[in-house]
Amino acid sequence: MRLFTKSRFLAPGIASVIAIALATVIMWGCGGTRGTEPEAVPPEPDPQTEDRPPDTQTQTPWHLTNILLYSTNETQDIQSYCTTFTIQGSVPDNINLYIAPFNQRINQIPCYGGIQTHIDGYTNKNRSRNTFIRKNRGSIFSRWEERNVDAIRQAPGGLVESSGHEGDFISVRNDFTWSEGTYRLCLHKSDVVEGEPLPASYNAETIAYGWGRYEHTWVRMEATDMKTNETTTIGALAFPGKTLSLSALNVIFVEIYGHGGTVSVRDVPLFSLSFSNYQVDEKDLHHNYIREITNPFSVHASAPVMTQTSYLQDQRVLKIEVGKYTGKTGKIITEILKN
């Protein structure tokens, strides 16, 4: 813009004064300080920032994270296997959330257990259609490579399942009300069912579907609210063998479950999990290597990373922060602990 296009009609002295005054105003600004740029207006916040994930849908079931805990060796001839963990933050009822502290192999047979916001199953082992019900919060224990319901011991008021929709498995479930707080989950060796001894050298395939053929041992799962010290029996499942061994690898996972559905990424609840210890026969089990794998399955290759995991070495506590968007996506492998 040309200012003073008619300045040629002013007297030379007056024109000079006006030019100097104009330059002074431009240099100093309106009440500003010489040499200081006008204060910048902060930009509007981006709706997708590091703490707010994209507004997208993700296919379920969705493993947000798998935490792999390695011990030095397999643990042989165990009587109990337990873990204690604390939940901080609110988990709403309208999300299908599974926190699984156990994802193990007992005598090489895969199994897992944990707590869920909703459980379902049959009220008796004949599994007629009218005995299938859905409940609210509870705990669950499942094993694979079996479908015979005789290998299930149902707890009073509990539910059972035998299905092939995730591979052949049997399962027990029961009510267990949980929220913020500290809880303890335990697997206990119980009585033995007689049968042929396991082969000297066996694997999961050779002893699969072995109920009625091989000797079995009942493994009972219990869940305890550490605030009230009340313990709930979830049920028991039979595993091939007279003694029980654990794999050197256990996996913790956090999953939003549901078959063939989707979940809004922004519905992932914000809470934390702190695992203080794992114990075998009431003695601490030491892990020498821990790593995290976010979005471990290929179907979630573009899903946002919604967990952050750390190990507090001085406290020997594994902490998983769930629901915090990291700004990253897909499968990311992170070393958490290496001794």
Two tokens, residue 39: 């204060």
Which amino acid, one-letter code, is at 208? A
Contact assessment for residue 96 and residue 254, using Cβ atoms and an 8 Å cutoff:
no
Which amino acid, one-letter code, is at 234? I
**pTM assigned to the model:** 0.85
Contact assessment for residue 188 and residue 219, using Cβ atoms and an 8 Å cutoff:
yes
CA distance 313 to 112: 26
CA distance 200 to 309: 40
Two tokens, residue 103: 């994802």
Q: What does the pLDDT average to over 232-257?
A: 98
CA distance 226 to 249: 26
CA distance 320 to 63: 14
Phi, psi of 56 (to 5 degrees): -130, 165
Close Cβ partners of 69 (under 8 Å, ≥ 6 residues apart): 249, 250, 251, 252, 278, 287, 289, 290, 318
* Amino acid 11: pLDDT: 40
3-class DSSP state for residue 23? helix
Which amino acid, one-letter code, is at 43? P
CA distance 260 to 71: 35
**Number of helical (H) and strand (E) elements in the chain, helices listed first:** 2, 22
Please say if the pLDDT value at position 30 is more than 50. no
Q: Are strands 289-294 and 332-338 parallel, antiparallel or unpaired?
A: antiparallel
Counting residues of the chain whose pLDDT is more than 90, the rounded percentage is 81
- The structural domains of the chain, with segments of one domain joined by +, span 57-338
* Residue 249 β-bridge partners: 70
Please say if the pLDDT value at position 269 is more than 90. yes
CA distance 299 to 80: 36
Q: What does the pLDDT average to over 148-168?
A: 96
Nearest to 57 by CA among 236, 260, 247, 252: 260
Two tokens, residue 28: 């100093």
Q: What is the pLDDT of residues 110-157, one digit of tens each?
A: 999 999 999 999 999 989 889 999 999 999 999 999 999 999 999 999
Q: What is the pLDDT of residues 43-87, one digit of tens each?
A: 554 444 457 899 999 999 999 999 999 999 999 999 999 999 999
CA distance 69 to 288: 8
Residue 250 pLDDT class (50, 70, 90 cuts): very high
Please say if the pLDDT value at position 167 is more than 90. yes
Q: Tell which wins on pLDDT, 38 or 203.
A: 203
* Amino acid 101: pLDDT: 98
Please say if the pLDDT value at position 106 is more than 60. yes
* Amino acid 50: pLDDT: 53
Instruction: Report the Cα 275 to chain-centroid distance in Å.
Output: 12
Two tokens, residue 338: 């290496």
Nearest to 50 by CA among 304, 309, 314: 304
Please say if the pLDDT value at position 2 is more than 70. no
Two tokens, residue 212: 């009625």
CA distance 307 to 292: 10
Q: Tell which wins on pLDDT, 140 or 20.
A: 140
